[in-house]
Amino acid sequence: MDDDRGFSAGSVMLAFVLGGIVGAGIALLTAPQSGRETREKIKDFADETKKKATEYAGQVKDKFSHAVEDGKHFVEEKKSLITSAIDAGKEAYVKEKEKLSKG
């Protein structure tokens, strides 16, 4: 699902998430509040970011695993077709050879 400029949906999503993280961090640091409140908000924000990053990594891992499985099935299917074609070719060769030796 690449757009015209060649960026994948995953890279756009990652850029969006990173932009949100940077923006939220700047907002936390520039907000008028005590140091203690700021540290608590930063800690909460860091915990939430870690949770979201873990979820995103899990989704990426699942998609990658699914793609690998699809690839394995594709290779097995094509391997089976090629093996069948080779066997049919060998059989045709043997029949033609027998036909030529009899005639």
What pLDDT does residue 91 have? Answer: 92
At position 19, the amino acid (one-letter code) is G
Per DSSP, the three-state class of 26 is: helix
Structure tokens given for 55: 């979820």
The answer to whether 17 and 56 are in contact (CB under 8 A) is yes
**What is the C-alpha separation between 100 and 103, in angstroms, rounded?**
5
Q: Is the pTM of this model over 0.85?
A: no
Residues of the chain short of pLDDT 50, as ranges, are: 1-3
Query: What pLDDT is attached to residue 15?
Result: 81
In whole angstroms, give the CA distance from residue 103 to residue 95.
12
What are the extents of the domains in the chain? 9-102
pLDDT for 1: 46
pLDDT at position 88 is 92
**Nearest residue to 27 via CA among 12, 41, 8:** 41
pLDDT at 103: 63
CA distance 95 to 101: 10
CB of 24 within 8 A of CB of 41? no
Predicted pLDDT of residue 90: 92
Tell me what pLDDT residue 4 has. Answer: 53
